[in-house]
Amino acid sequence: MSDIRPVTPDFAVAPQLAPSDMAEAASQGFKLVINNRPDGEAPGQPTSLQMEEAARAAGMDYVHIPVVGGPTPDQVEQNRVAVEGANGPVLAFCRSGTRSIVTWSIGERLAGGSRDELVEQGAAAGYDLSGVLPG
């Protein structure tokens, strides 16, 4: 399985996942998969439909919020609502995990989360969020 990077006890990010990874993600306790990667971004990349079918077959919920470049305010809000409404731990992915953690962290910050804590959580997961979070 891909490099799953825990950010909080209930949220993790990963680089591109495969449909075959979904059963293992479910066995690790994830309840929702968020795909932040647009379809067709790279040759051979699984489609959102393939990922959704595999996630649901493994008993997880699935949301596709494709982000190109930086997330829009609407994408941040969709992501925040999906995470907030999840029935348990969330696994979000994109090509490298960066768009997923950036989208999540902006939503957390706008909802009142501590910028310093979010930057620390990002760093612990291997991502530098210092330049993307509002002060």
The single-letter code of the amino acid at 127 is: Y
- At 80, the pLDDT band (50, 70, 90 cuts) reads very high
For the residues 98-123, what does the mean pLDDT come to? 96
Strand partners, 71: none
The pLDDT, as a whole number, for residue 135 is 72
The single-letter code of the amino acid at 36 is: N
* pLDDT of 1 above 70: no
pLDDT tens readout for residues 32-57: 999 999 999 999 999 999 999 999 99
Q: What is the DSSP string of 38-80?
A: -TTSSTTPPPHHHHHHHHHHTT-EEEE---SSSPPHHHHHHHH
Which pTM value belongs to this model? 0.96
* pLDDT of 133 above 80: yes
The pLDDT, as a whole number, for residue 10 is 97
Cα–Cα nearest to 29, from 92, 81, 85, 90:
90
72 CB contacts (<8 Å, ≥6 apart)?
A: none
88 CB contacts (<8 Å, ≥6 apart)?
A: 10, 29, 30, 31, 32
